[in-house]
Every structure is written in C-alpha cells, then in structure tokens.
Copies of this chain bind each other. A is one copy, B any other.
Amino acid sequence: MSAPSTPSPAPAGRTRAAVMEDVAARAGVSAMTVSRVLNTPEKVRPQTRARVLAAMRELDYRPNSAARVLATGRSGVLGVVSFDTTLYGPASMLYGIEQAARGAEYTVTIASLRTLTRGAIEEGVDRLRSQSVDGVIVIAPHLSAAEGLRRLPPDLPLVAVGAADDLPVPVAAVDHRAGAVRATRHLLSLGHRTVHHIAGPMDWVDSDARVAGWRHALAEAGREAPDPLPGDWSARSGYEQGRVLAADPEVTAVFAANDPMALGLLRALREAGRDVPGEVSVAGFDDVPEAPFFAPPLTSVRQPFGEVGRLAFQMLLERIDGAEGVPRRTVEPELVVRESTAARAD
C-alpha cells in the first residue's frame, strides 16, 4: 500500500518469505550448509559462513521453526499451566520462568485454567502437548491438583511449582511452613500469648503448609492454637474474618496467610477502633510491593517468586536432558518486619 519508507532489508515486492533454499542459492552453497551455519557454525569455513550470513541478511531470512521441530523433534518451547495468572504470585512466577527460559533460548506458551475442576490440569497439559512443547511447568498449588498430576503421561518432562509433597513429580516450591513458623515466632517473641490465624482456602497446599507452620510454632512454645479462620486470599475475606477477630478482646496478634487478607483485616480492625500495632499486631505473607504502604506498613513473609520460577525452569531443563527421580527443592522465604507488629501492651 504505502511507499516503503523504512530502510527495511526485505526487498519490497517479494511475495513469499525467503526459505533456506533461497539463502543457499544466493550464497552459492547447498541448503545443508546454510543449516550448518545456523546450528554448528564452527563446522563451516569462516569465508563460506560470512557469505551465507550476508545472504540471510539480504533476504531477511528467518528459520521456520515448525519445519525445524518436525525434523528434530525438539521445539524449544515449554508450556506453563497455571491457575489464575492475575494473582500476584502466579504472575511473578510466570515472569521468572519466562526470563529464565529466554536466557536458554526457550519460548514459553501458557494455558491458564479458569477453574480447577477435575481434569482441568490434564486438559491444560494436553493442549500444550499437542503444541509439541519440550516440557511443562504446572503452577497449581491445589490439593485437588494432585489427582490431575498423578495421571499425567509419564514420558513428558514436567515440574510442578508449589505442589503437595507426596506426588510422583518433581517440585519446586517456597517453604511455606518455614515462613509461617518465622512469622508466628516473631509474634510470640513480642510477648503475645497466642497468635490467631486467617488461613487461605482449604484446597490450597500453601494454606495447609502455613497452617502447619503456625501450629508448629505455637506448639513448640506450649501455646494453644485457636481455630484458624478460613479465607479465600481476597482482601474481602480478610475483612470479614477480621470483623470477627476485632470483636474479640482476647485477640492481640493475627497472622494472615497472605497480604490482601491482611489488608482486609487491617481495615476491619481500624473500623472497630482497635489500634494496630498498639492493641493488635498483624503479620502477612507474600510481601507484595505495596505492603510497606499499608496502614500501618505490614510485617510480612517475603516470597521469592521469581527465584522459584527460575528454579522450576532449571529443574525442567534437567528433566528434558534426561534426569530421573522426583526431587523436591524449596526456597526459604524471609520475614520482613515493619510497623504492623509490636510488643504486646500490658
């Protein structure tokens, strides 16, 4: 349509994209030599290589990956099956994976799950598999996901992120339990008699592990564990459970299983006129970028999402290269103390 104004190297008027044969003809070599320049350049005489590279540039040649895949059986693509990539955690992990993958010349294809119905994971993996991915990373930290993971094709290289630990698949995860222990110990060390807990949804592995860590820290200090209150990760659920806790004058320390719930909790406490951290201390989990700006700035357990993403990718590479076994590697989270926790007033 428009006149070619850019100094594009692609000859205008050309109708079909250049293929290897075109490059070969232009450089006066065979297609195979062109292929070698791409894959094993050291096996081509520098002079020839230069001619071929020049021809590629002149024709704006791009290798056709579909043909490559067909010929080699390797795609250089890895699939990520994830539940709700809108959440900060999954989004960050996806990002970490993508960055790591790029460094290793891999491309990432995604399959988001809308729901976690039975079979959803298998369907996601299937969609990716038919795209001939070299391997798959599953981000689905649900207990019910375990079932789906069990019945996956055993020949497909696969790594799960943050999954249950009794699975027959390799897992990369944050040590949620250790994080919960740290947060709870911190609150106890401030003189609180016990620590209440707003938990994540029942179905999540993360929730489970955090409840376990919280329980453990209370037990080792010889304290009773009050019933945890169930939330669903949303600020709203934190708010609702927070209203319950705010009404109970015995409550002086609360550990929320993630930051949005902590935010909701803070609002509930504020509305009930209970000062944080004067009357009640609050700790969260995730350490989202906004946590330092909550009212008050939130003490939270920082999850190294990006790092887990990189770890998962690395483990997947090992699988693809033929590693056996079902390792489980974890990354330690770190407690970041801010102003929402303080010594118990007497």
Task: Point out the residues of chain B lying under 8 angstroms from A292, CB to CB.
Answer: 235-236
Q: Which of A183-191, A196-204, A221-229, A262-270 contacts B (4 or more CB under 8 A)?
A: A262-270
* A105 (CB) vs chain B CBs: closest residue: B127
The verdict on A112 contacting B99 (CB below 8 Å), with A63-B130, A64-B132 known, is: yes
Judge whether A30 is part of the interface by a CB distance below 8 angstroms. no
Interface residues of A toward B: which range? Answer: 35 or more
Task: Point out the residues of chain B lying under 8 angstroms from A70, CB to CB.
Answer: 64, 66-67, 70
Interface of chain A residues 152 through 209 with chain B (CB within 8 A): 153-154, 168
Flag if B107 contacts A131 (CB, 8 Å).
Answer: yes
A239 touches which of B112, B235, B293 (Cβ 8 Å): B293
Flag if A132 contacts B65 (CB, 8 Å).
Answer: yes
Task: Point out the residues of chain B lying under 8 angstroms from A95, CB to CB.
Answer: 84-86, 112
Flag if B85 contacts A99 (CB, 8 Å).
Answer: no
Judge whether A322 is part of the interface by a CB distance below 8 angstroms. no
Interface of chain A residues 236 through 289 with chain B (CB within 8 A): 236, 238-239, 260, 263-264, 266-267, 270, 289
Judge whether A69 is part of the interface by a CB distance below 8 angstroms. yes
Smallest CB separation, A262 vs chain B (Å): 10
Smallest CB separation, A244 vs chain B (Å): 16
A130 touches which of B65, B127, B295 (Cβ 8 Å): B65
Q: Mark A86-121, 1 if CB is under 8 A from B, else 0.
A: 101001101100110010000111111010000000
Judge whether A314 is part of the interface by a CB distance below 8 angstroms. no
Flag if B270 contacts A131 (CB, 8 Å).
Answer: no
Smallest CB separation, A104 vs chain B (Å): 13
Task: Point out the residues of chain B lying under 8 angstroms from A98, CB to CB.
Answer: 85, 110-112
Judge whether A8 is part of the interface by a CB distance below 8 angstroms. yes
Flag if B130 contacts A62 (CB, 8 Å).
Answer: yes
Judge whether A299 is part of the interface by a CB distance below 8 angstroms. no
Flag if A235 contacts B10 (CB, 8 Å).
Answer: no
Flag if B289 contacts A267 (CB, 8 Å).
Answer: no
* A132 (CB) vs chain B CBs: closest residue: B66
Smallest CB separation, A329 vs chain B (Å): 21
Could you give 25 example pairs across A and B, Cβ below 8 Å?
A: A2-B154, A6-B151, A8-B151, A10-B153, A65-B130, A65-B131, A66-B69, A66-B75, A86-B91, A95-B112, A98-B110, A98-B112, A99-B112, A107-B109, A109-B109, A110-B110, A235-B289, A235-B292, A236-B293, A260-B293, A263-B290, A263-B293, A264-B293, A267-B294, A267-B297
Q: Beyond the given A66-B67, A86-B88, A290-B290, please list 8 additional residue pairs across the A-B interface where CB-CB is below 8 A.
A: A2-B168, A85-B95, A85-B98, A95-B112, A98-B110, A236-B292, A260-B290, A264-B293
